[in-house]
Amino acid sequence: MPRRSGGNKSKQTNGDGKSCGIMVLGFLFPLVGLILYFAWKNSYPLKARSAGIGAVAGFIIHSLVFYALLLLSI
């Protein structure tokens, strides 16, 4: 019996899609992730979201590490 494809709804035709690389870039360099978010939010919304999530997560983690190191140095 042949299998039916069922239509893959996650396939993107315009080059947009979730990107772990963009998220990691935004995590390591939150300012770059924020700039990419605003640059891509209309043309590539899924990539922009990945960059934004990485930027927010990176900012939070970097801030927590900074304050933890600041408290340990006192």
pLDDT in tens, 50-67: 999 999 999 999 999 999
The range of the structural domain enclosing residue 58 comes to: 20-73
Distance between CA atoms of residues 51 and 37, nearest Å: 6
Residue 7 tokens read as 């239509």
Q: Judge if pTM exceeds 0.85.
A: no
The residue assigned the tokens 């494809």 is 5
Encoded tokens for 4 = 């039916």
Tell how far CA 13 is from the center of its chain: 20
Report if residue 52 sits inside a domain: yes
pLDDT tens digits, 6-37: 555 555 557 888 899 999 999 999 999 999 99
Question: Domain tally for the chain?
Answer: 1
Q: Is residue 5 part of a domain?
A: no
Closest CA to 48 of 59, 60, 35, 31: 35
Select from 33, 59, 31, 32 the least CA-distant residue to 67: 59
